[in-house]
Structure 1
């Protein structure tokens, strides 16, 4: 199965695995460089976490790096004129 990101608001996404929301992705920081964090919604034991999650939460310096870690996940914006990758 592949991951996809659905934008909720600028800097906030639901992370879907197939058709199931498994995590949230948020941007933190008021100015660049931002930190992007993917956090599983459930506190699953390590053996039940979807790959590539080894921890409940992982942080990245860019949305592009987070997407690459997920295997180049698709990003769907909310069509309000915001850039999906360059926020």
Structure 2
């Protein structure tokens, strides 16, 4: 499975799996230290969730840790830059 992230705005990303949007990644809070959440769009039963999702949402202290958990997906901007 190959994940990728498309940045929509500072602190907000679409999460794609094999080219299909299946979740989001967002920065929580307006002041540091921020936390980051990866969330599935659908409340799939545990047996149908893509790895490494064991829950619908997972929280991380940094974007780097979240990306490592997903297998270091490519990050693209939606602005084409």
- State the TM bucket, normalised to the shorter chain: over 0.9
Deviations 1:34-81 (A, max 9, x none): 010011000000000000000000000111100000011111134599
Gaps of 5+ in 2: none
* TM-score after normalising by structure 2: 0.93
Cα distance between partner residues in 2 of 1:20 and 1:79: 18
Gaps of 5+ in 1: 82-87
Aligned residue for 2:71, secondary structure, equals coil
Q: Report how many residues are paired.
A: 81
1:84 matched residue in structure 2: none
Cα distance between partner residues in 2 of 1:62 and 1:53: 17
Aligned residue for 1:76, secondary structure, equals strand
1:47 matched residue in structure 2: 47
Residues 9, 18 of structure 1: alpha-carbon distance in 2 compared, 3 angstrom cutoff:
same
RMSD: 1.6
* TM-score after normalising by structure 1: 0.87
User: By percentage of residues, which structure has more strand?
Assistant: 2
